[in-house]
Chain A
């Protein structure tokens, strides 16, 4: 129980902080340990487990979320460091009516992933890439996604998926064939 957890933390000399987060457009105030990572807060306190932890040392990229629109490793940040920030996770990509984001549709079409444990990080990195550079070349896509590890696919299908998303977002609704 969270109360037991926080009480034990306080008796261990740890600080408890109030953090005001906005996650996927919704206000999500939390009361957590000062040393608690943003990823743990998102997953266990806010209850959004779509953000995954692959290495907890900032290399694999599975925990990537958008903080005020910029991609960041949520495993390397404390929630307390992003007080007041707007955070977007994989759960916030689809429209409120359930319509999938073009990158999600494209990955479905491309059969981008296999186990998809890495998918949340790739999707958030791809969204950030396309916001910065709406028409990346294939090699630019590879370079931008090099901060995310996938062990299943050999990446080709993921790069294909981003290319389809680029076409969809630039007005080709078919996305072409992969």
Chain B
């Protein structure tokens, strides 16, 4: 519950916030009445199957689709070359200093760069018939040498994936904070270790999928898609499929007065609200891109002109989405190909990714090498840190967000909750013949893994305990206000030290030591691991500009709150819920703010025709701090307007009026009130009708979020029990002490934390996207990619601190942290148990037994 006396608690009139109320979503999801994209089967829909490369790296010398086109039930086969005629390539989205972003099309025409690269799409009356015909597509490949690892990609003799990149290093940039050389020279000791994290995959239980419906009369596209960001997909499809002659497009733009007005008004508003952000943009990124490849200029011009000349952008919709964990944020090549195919055929087309496709290129993550040096004094005081980071981004860059931006997030977060005099990170991104590297829950998480792993290494070298060295160096309440060495300011919400202290209180160390001795006597090893982190959720106001100047303008989020003539409340959000329970938590926030019952509130999401614009969708732990903040501020204004309207009817001053359970009355005199519905009906009868949704009460607002309490933090402590006979690791105890500020819905928060920890356990002990030395995918089914089950995931204890900040909307994000902390705590515990250095994040039983000296590395 929210602490009594806190401003939010005082305003929680019906007090729903802080309670695990019944989930609104469950009524349909527990009865089979949910509607996921695969559940939509409109009459006459066609089914798409992609023809994919069996080779990791090859030139396409010929492609013969004649037999496939003749196959029964086939309506069309579109090759890569044909698709390139219909669509623009994916352009570089965020050009960063030292980065080259290759351009690529929805389907590959000349060259394939990974196993699973789509080279054609078959569209038929059923998926079965489309699969049959896909087998008849005859592609001749001329194999090229493959690039299967970071080491190979760094070699100057490796076969370049991208002709204009000048090798396979796509980005190389160093960020320095403070006089690193001097601090390193002055420190008592320098300790260095390299950590490698193998490839993992997001693996939501629902794969990606899209149904593109074409309106026969107008050609308008309605795209039902399992996307984390509906507006991003809408604009990406409009941009990349809007291919037309420049003169035609310009003429259409000039002659369409409404379109022209909307464009200039939008541009004016954008420049007006983002003046500071735009000033901070520098040219280093675009210049780095230009040096290697000027082609993006022409393509971006054509895309821009195409957008201007387009009257009709698609509608993107989704009701239920079966998880994402970052993988449904990026725009997929298949999304573009499907929209282009449906447009050209004038018929509705559906593609539901299968699990093997999802494991091949539905999103992979975390393959990173991190060499960390810490300069430390003999008393354990951290002085400076140097990091050499290399990310393997696979073949095609994630769009719009991939490895390059994630290096910047890691740059800012790497120092963690500790004091440093200086910090430096060299960030490289390499291309290999593997699946797309994309954001996966806590995309920057390996900074926490490598740092927290390294801190244990340093503690070991200095003869300190992991807890001692952390407490000695961690920023505490006495240090405030302060800043991270990488820039972001730190306030009282950065309570990592309190979570560590609380976690240590909850562990009986003496008992653990006794258990440890007893276990050793029966062929088992116990170990205890600690990991601490803080994450920006949403972060202080300057956070995104510390990541990259100018990106701060991407953070604000809009919401609309309306009261309909019947008194029902609708809240419109650009968020795209895919498991986070927004329909419940946002209704709690809005109902409390307005003073109505939760059943009177409906959350509207997943429809670009109705919801406010925003590219962010759901991700980045933004749902609590920014999305719910926008709900709160708009609901608060609606409440003010309701009271103002009611004041006349009640002949009372607005200051004396309150709203309780939908009844508006003078405080303490509920019997002489009017209902929200009566006030709304009267306003509607008087002709009140909002511009956006036509409701009698209607408020739209953009909420910035930043500054209202910035950090979400936690300490994870786990105890591992390792069987030296089998190499299996179990968890007698897994403990999380987290602080995401006041909690809207405790069961939802606990679920987010536990789900994240489960993915961290999977990452360390079970899951690996394995490729062989020729970049052939070895884990293409769930027989090989091992998602942990109820037998592998332990009970996870979650404890909460609820540090309050002075901000008006103090909810802080909680979606990502579980996954951020878990790999570090687990690998630290395993090193402690085995007394052997752990430098990889993937520790299956064979690796455990090797580390334990039971078996000899093969």
Q: Which residues of A contact B (CB under 8 A)?
A: 1, 4-5, 8-9, 11-12, 14, 33, 35-36, 43-44, 48-57, 59-60, 62, 89-91, 93-94, 100, 104, 107-108, 111, 113-120, 123, 141-143, 145-159
Contacts and interface: CB of A to CB of B under 8 A. Distances in A.
A95 to B, nearest CB: 11
Given A90-B31, A114-B323, A117-B36, A152 B579 contact: yes
B782 interface: yes
B747 A157 contact: yes
B783 A59 contact: yes
Contacts of A52: 36, 38, 205-206, 322
A11 B72 contact: yes
Interface residues of B, number: 63
Given A8-B126, A111-B751, A153-B754, A54 B32 contact: no
Chain A contact residues: helix, strand, loop or mixed? loop
Nearest to A122: B790
Which residue, B31, B124, B754, B793, has most C-beta atoms of chain A within 10 A? B31
Contacts of A146: 789-791
A171 B41 CA distance: 42
B580 interface: yes
Interface of B: 20, 22-23, 25-26, 29-36, 38-39, 41, 43-44, 71-73, 124-126, 128-129, 132, 203-207, 320-323, 325, 352, 354-355, 578-581, 747-748, 750-751, 754-755, 757-759, 781-783, 787, 789-791, 793, 795-796
Contacts of B124: 8
A115 B204 contact: yes
B72 A151 contact: no
A115 B125 contact: no
Nearest to B745: A111
A151 B205 contact: yes
B320 to A, nearest CB: 8
B38 to A, nearest CB: 7
B790 A120 contact: no
A116 B782 contact: no
A111 B748 contact: yes
Contact of B355 (A51, A54, A148, A152): A54
Given A8-B129, A12-B72, A12-B132, A155 B758 contact: yes
A139 B783 CA distance: 24
A156 B30 contact: no
A9 B72 contact: yes
A113 B747 CA distance: 10
Nearest to B322: A117
Contact of B30 (A48, A123, A148, A159): A123
19 contacts: A4-B125, A14-B128, A33-B128, A43-B39, A51-B32, A52-B38, A54-B355, A62-B205, A93-B31, A94-B31, A104-B31, A115-B321, A118-B205, A149-B789, A150-B790, A152-B579, A154-B751, A154-B757, A157-B747
Contacts of A151: 203-205, 323, 325, 755, 759, 787
A51 B29 CA distance: 11
Which residue, A8, A44, A60, A62, has most C-beta atoms of chain B within 10 A? A8
A94 B20 CA distance: 24
A21 B781 CA distance: 30
Contact of B783 (A48, A53, A57, A62): A57
A138 B56 CA distance: 46
Nearest to B129: A8
Nearest to A116: B29
B755 A107 contact: no
A157 B355 CA distance: 26
Given A55-B781, A57-B781, A151-B755, A156 B323 contact: no
A158 B790 contact: yes
Contacts of B34: 50, 116
B29 A91 contact: no
B322 to A, nearest CB: 3
B796 A154 contact: yes
Given A9-B73, A54-B355, A156-B754, 18 more contacts: A4-B73, A8-B129, A11-B73, A12-B72, A49-B41, A51-B32, A52-B205, A57-B782, A89-B32, A107-B30, A108-B23, A111-B748, A114-B323, A119-B30, A149-B787, A153-B758, A154-B754, A156-B796
A144 to B, nearest CB: 9
Nearest to A47: B41
B782 A55 contact: yes
Given A104-B30, A149-B205, A116 B25 contact: yes
A49 B581 contact: no
Contacts of B759: 151
A93 B754 CA distance: 28
A11 B129 CA distance: 11
Given A142-B790, A143-B791, A146-B791, A113 B30 contact: yes
Nearest to B25: A116
Contact of B580 (A8, A33, A53, A114): A114
A49 B754 CA distance: 29
A91 B30 contact: no
Contact of B205 (A90, A115, A123): A115
Contact of A1 (B43, B757, B782, B783): B43
Contact of A90 (B22, B25, B32, B747): B32
A174 B553 CA distance: 50
A96 B419 CA distance: 63
B128 A36 contact: yes
Given A1-B44, A115-B204, A142-B791, A154 B758 contact: yes
Given A44-B41, A146-B791, A111 B32 contact: no
A12 B32 contact: no
A12 B323 CA distance: 37
Contact of B126 (A9, A113, A152): A9
Nearest to B791: A146
Contacts of B126: 5, 8-9, 33
Which residue, B22, B36, B129, B755, has most C-beta atoms of chain A within 10 A? B755
B329 to A, nearest CB: 15
A117 B793 contact: no
A115 B790 contact: no
User: 10 closest A-B pairs (Cβ-Cβ)?
Assistant: A50-B32, A117-B322, A8-B73, A115-B579, A154-B758, A154-B754, A59-B782, A90-B32, A49-B39, A116-B29
Given A90-B32, A113-B30, A57 B796 contact: no
Nearest to B780: A57
Which residue, B126, B205, B754, B783, has most C-beta atoms of chain A within 10 A? B205
Contact of A108 (B22, B125, B355, B754): B22
A9 B126 CA distance: 9
Contacts of A12: 71-73, 129, 132
B315 to A, nearest CB: 22
Contacts of A141: 790
B816 to A, nearest CB: 13
Contacts of A35: 128
A162 B354 CA distance: 30
Contacts of A51: 32
Contact of A56 (B71, B354, B748): B354
A48 B34 CA distance: 11
A57 B30 CA distance: 24
Given A12-B129, A108-B30, A154-B755, A115 B783 contact: no
A107 B27 CA distance: 11
A78 to B, nearest CB: 12
Which residue, B38, B44, B322, has most C-beta atoms of chain A within 10 A? B322
B351 to A, nearest CB: 14
B781 A159 contact: no
B31 A5 contact: no
Contacts of A100: 30-31
Contacts of B203: 151
Which residue, B43, B204, B325, has most C-beta atoms of chain A within 10 A? B204
B383 to A, nearest CB: 38
A36 B579 CA distance: 31
Given A151-B323, A154-B796, A54 B205 contact: yes
